[in-house]
Structure 1
C-alpha cells in the first residue's frame, strides 16, 4: 500500500474527507515551496499535490500556467523536485514532514526521464504517487505496472466528456484515488459547478472502490460545502496559487494567508450543505 492508500483508509474510518491543495514547485522559489508545504501541513491539509513546471501545460488555466512560467524563468529543474521531497522528509533542519505528497507531472517528463527511473527517484525522495493528466489510457499499462511494483500511486483523470466505458478502463489502471474533473476545460476558479457532476460521481462509486477526489474549479468554502458530501477528497489549486502569486507583503504574510485559507476550507468540509448525499460505502 502507498501512503495515499493508508491516508484514505484512515480518513474513511474516521468519517472525514481529504483536502488536497495544489501548489507549483519552484514558485517563487524552491525554498518557499518547502515553507508552503509545511504551512499546509500545519493548517491540517491531508495531502499536497506538487505541480512540476512544464513549458507546454496540458489543462492548466492562466493562474497555474503563470506560476509554471515564473518557476521556469527562475531556473527550476526537475532535480529540485526530488531535492525538495528529500529535504522535507529528512527533517533537516526542521522535523520530518509526514504529509503525503504526490506530483502532478506531464507524461512527457516521465518518458524523458524514464518511467521506472522517475518512479524510483520520486519514491526515494518521499513522494507517494503521481497525477499524470496527459497519460492516455491506451498507453497506461506500463506505467500502472511500474507504479504498483513500487507502491507508488498512479492517479488518472476522468473528465465530464470521458465516455463511461473509458472511465472504467481509467479506473482499472489507476491507484491511490481517481481524479474527477468537475468541469470541461482548463483549471481555474469558478462560481458554479455543473449538476451532472453529482450524477457521474454516483455512477463511478458503483464501479470502483478507489476514493474519488474532485478538482478543477473549486474556488472557496461554499463549493467545498456543496461537494464534500459526495467526494472522498477535494483538490484546490488555482485559489492557492493565486494567493502565493499575490504576496506583495512578504513571505510571512503570504504563508499566513495560505494557512488561513486552508483552515477555512477544512472548516467548510466539516459543515457540508447543499449537495448532501448519503455516501456509498
Structure 2
C-alpha cells in the first residue's frame, strides 16, 4: 500500500509528541444534512481522525446509544451509497483528515465488495473497520481492501491472548483499535492502568499505532488513555450529545452541531494536555 492519510496523520502526531483524537459519529444521524454539517465541523473542533458508522439494523458490538443513532439515520433513509456521498461532500473542503468507515459486513456484501471498494476509495475513504469479519475471513474483504488502497483496521480486545495476536496483526494496516473493556460500546469505564499495560504489550509486537476506545466519555478519561495510547477513540459520548440536542421527535435543532463539537473540543483539550508515560 502507498502512504494513506491515516499514515500521514499518525506520523504528524508522532512529530508533535501527542496522542490523537478519533471521533465516531453515525453517518446520517440525525439526518443527512445535519450529519454532513457535523462531520465538516469535527476537524476544527479537534478531531484528528473521523470514524463514520455505516448504519445497520443489527449492530452487534454497539451499545444502546449507537444502536439508536443507527436507527435514526436509517429512519431518514441513510444508505451505504448515502454514506459514500457524505464522504465525497466532506472531501470537497477537507483533503487531509482521515476517514474510516466502521460497521458490519452485511451492507458491504449487499452493495458488492468490488464496487464498494472502488467507490469508497474514489469518495475519499481511507480505511475500514468491519467488526464481524475475523482474520480467518481476510480473503473476503481485508485483502481486497488493502489492494484497493484502503487500510483495514482490526480490533483487539482484553480477551485477545498471545496465541491469537499474530493472526490479528497479520493483515492489519493504518492502526490497531484496542477495545478497553469487555462488552459493547458506551457501557462501562476502562481500568486505565490495565489499558496502559495492554497497550504496552501490543506495541512491543507491532509498529502500528494503537488507538484505544470504548468507555471514554470525558476529557479526563481521554487524558488518562492518551498517556499510553497513540490515539483515543470516543463515540458514544459524542452520539449522546447529539441525542440530547434533538427535539421530542428526534429531529435536529439549531444546537445539534454545537452540542457535539463543544464536547469534541473538551475531549481534544484532554488529549492534548495528557502527559505521556513510559508505558508506551
Determine if the TM-score, normalized by the shorter chain, exceeds 0.5.
yes
Which of 6, 9, 15 is equivalent to 2:8? Answer: 6
Does structure 1 residue 253 correspond to structure 2 residue 251? no
Larger mean CA deviation between 109-118 and 228-237 belongs to: 109-118
2:212 to 205, 211, 214: 214
For residues 193 and 173 of structure 1, what CA distance do their matches in structure 2 show? Answer: 28
Distance (Å, rounded) in 2 between the aligned partners of 1:9 and 1:56: 35
Per the TM alignment, residue 204 of structure 1 is displaced from its structure 2 partner at its CA by: 0.5
Q: Which runs of 5+ in 2 are unaligned?
A: none
Equivalent residue number for residue 57 of structure 1 = 59
Q: How does 1:85-100 map to 2 (within 5 A)?
A: 85-90=87-92, 95-96=93-94, 98-100=96-98
- Name structure 1 gaps, 5 residues minimum: none
Match of 2:274 among 272, 275, 278: 272
> TM-score, normalized by length of structure 1?
0.92
Higher mean alpha-carbon deviation, 238-247 vs 163-172, is at: 163-172
Checking the alignment, whether the CA contact within 8 Å between 2:192 and 2:225 is kept in structure 1 is no
CA RMSD of aligned residues (A): 1.7
Per-residue Cα deviation, 1:11-39 (whole angstroms, up to 9, x for no partner): 11221211011001111111111111111
Q: Is the 8 A contact 2:22 2:231 kept in 1?
A: yes
**Normalising by the residue count of structure 2, what TM-score does the alignment of the two structures yield?**
0.92
Find the residue that maps to 2:38 and give its secondary structure: helix
Q: Is 2:222–2:267's contact at 8 Å kept on the other side of the alignment?
A: yes
Q: CA deviation at 1:112?
A: 2.5
**Counterpart in 2 of 1:166?**
164
* Partner deviation per Cα, 1:126-179 (whole Å, 9 max, x = no partner): 111111111111111443322222221101101111222212211121110001
SS at structure 1 position matched to 2:78: coil
Of 24, 31, 47, the residue aligned with 1:22 is 24
- Residues in 1 aligned to 2:142 and 2:189: alpha-carbon distance in whole angstroms: 35
1:130–1:192 distance in 2 versus 1, CA, 3 Å:
closer
**Number of matched pairs:** 274
Out of 189-198 and 74-83, give the one that drifted further: 189-198
Task: Give 3-state SS (helix, strand or coil) of 2:255's partner.
Answer: helix
